[in-house]
Structure 1
Amino acid sequence: MTQNPRTQALSDAGVSIWLDDLSRERISSGNLQELIDTVNVVGVTTNPSIFQAAISGRSDYDADIARLAGEGADVEGVVEVLTTDDVRTAADLFSDVYASSKGFDGRVSIEVDPRLAHETEKTVEQAKRLHEIVGRENVMIKIPATLEGLPAITAVIAEGISVNVTLIFSVARYQQVIEAYLAGLELAAQAGKDLSTIHSVASFFVSRVDSEIDKRLDAIGGDAAALKGKAGVANAVAAFGEYLAAFGGERFAALKGQGANPQRALWASTGVKNPEYSDTLYVDNLVADPSVNTMPEKTLQAVADHSAPAAALTAESAEQAEQVLAEIAAAGVDLADVFAVLETEGVSKFEVAWNELLETVQTSVDAARA
């Protein structure tokens, strides 16, 4: 089938398009395959909110819930089976993409229990468990970039497991994520692991940054309002400058000589929340080679319809972005506080969604046993 020319142009520019959504219905209906065939979708990301929306109130999962309930599974066991089954099926759907891209794409991500975001050892334990249960090379385990998540990232990479680092909001934290990845690769090399099989992406959240900073700029008032809608892109572009420096440097060069892959920047939270902004804002202005842009379907459809990409990001782009962030700080926005708030809220939102999912499935399990 012919690919959409706009999404093809992004792909040609080095941007891998991953869908930020997954459900059993999307797989069984053929919709996911259609997106692969027509709009250059080469991967999928999931999170607790996505699974909560996919499973709650859907009949697709009733038979499995009833079967598992009959076998005596508790609610956490039921949810684990439902989510890992969907990820495994999607991973199989992307097997050709995975092979043709030599492991860079064809990836399906599944996140560790968000309630473990501040527990290093339990995060490592569950990451290894999820990797084993899904049982597919092209699965990526999502670990949040909390302070406690950083050593977990190193440990899981050292085991040879590919990781999607999520909930990154600041350039400073992104630098720590890069360090965690490189340290993990070095440990993997010492243990004799094949570095060429280890992949990682660093998920840098975009729209949530604008939402929080725009609110603060409104509160400041005056000339500060002229900076609204600029922080999210500038923050991400500045992060890409860190990517270029780290993965063009000597430390990674030594690892690359042993087969290591760079940890690509991934632009997450790319659905535009302010209707006054272009609905392709966080795609058109974040064209980077290489990078991943994970899009909700609404954003993907907008891109396919009317995307107008800007020039590719460079080290010079990053310097200009840092100046924009400096202007926002000078206007009175406490950026460190913004990023701390966003991380706390990000973890909390995923915890809430996960607990809601557990409650919904528990109701179905109880009904099946009644």
Structure 2
Amino acid sequence: MYMIESKGGAISCMLLALLFLGTWPAIMTLTERRGRLPQHTYLDYTITNLLAAVIIAVTLGQIGPSRPNFITQLSQDNWQSVMFAMAGGIVLSLGNLATQYAWAFVGLSVTEVITASTTVVIGTTLNYFLDDRINRAEVLFPGVACFLIAVCFGSAVHKSNAADNKSKLQGFKRLKNDSQQTTSSFQIETGPADSGLAKGKAKEGTAAYLIELEKQRAIKVFGKSTIIGLAITFFAGICFSLFSPAFNLATNDQWHTLKHGVPKLNVYTAFFYFSISAFVLALILNIRFLYWPILGLPKSSFRAYLNDWNGRGWSFLAGFLCGFGNGLQFMGGQAAGYAAADAVQALPLVSTFWGILLFGEYRRSSRRTYVLLISMLFMFIVAVAVLMASSGHRK
């Protein structure tokens, strides 16, 4: 099997994982905003997510002089470590499933900030002690503190942006009522800059744009409490904070559960079992959600899913990006410590870029929202740099 030997190689894996893991949520959000049911999207995503793990296992897990390789370990008596790997896959699958709904309620950028920060605060602390403190605590924990500050900024951004949107919609409603006294609202040539009522496609960030988006998207959010979105988001963050420590236990056996003489699971075998359990759980839950949907989504069926090719290619791409991103994160973590590998939880830097570029998030928002958004991103930049600087080297 192929092993990352250098600190530079480990950091390269983390940076590439950061790009992949920050991009796939934007793709999933894109399909939902275009009206594709999240159950359909997630079923496609989970297929290629598993396929990515299989590709990594049968290639990198088989090449190189290091032993034991992937195929050899499938027949070894290592079920205790396999259980840890599969537990990690289960909580990751739950977290990913929850965030798919949270993106609609809270927005891509803030959802990723809160989940990533929760992951770092809880998960990185657990990994630090599991890794026998190979990361420098005097560097690591200030980075964790930066993430904790960022989650506070993220919550404030969400609250401020929600207030901005509410104000836009109220202004739009007043303007529409006034216009109906003299002419049809569909004949209005001009209006206030933030109303979006000018002829043509609604401008991003305007009230008209928000209304058009609500009509088109799969998950309807108007009239729903923001508490629902935040609750889903924090639940996802707690799930994410547990999957990396579980994977750490699977590959390093800190609790000495394996029998004497049985080799520890290599990162590729652990990732294979990890992805198998994530796939099975996602399959069960999403097939159930087809027939008994949540959050007011329309019912579907397995036949309807098979016939839904609108956005399927994007969903497959999201699964590949997430699968390869997780694999790279674990490869880097095995070499430099899983606490440092949690630096990929700075993926909101990438997701926010896509959110602003593709979806116009925070367009025409208040100055207060922009100040909070910049503060949040600044803390993330500091946090990822500090976490990577804490990298150690596993003996």
Q: TM-score range by the shorter chain?
A: under 0.3
Where relative contact order (Cα < 8 A, 6+ residues apart) is larger, the structure is 2
TM-score, reference length from structure 2: 0.25
**Highest Rg: 1 or 2?**
2
Name whichever structure is richer in helix by fraction. 2
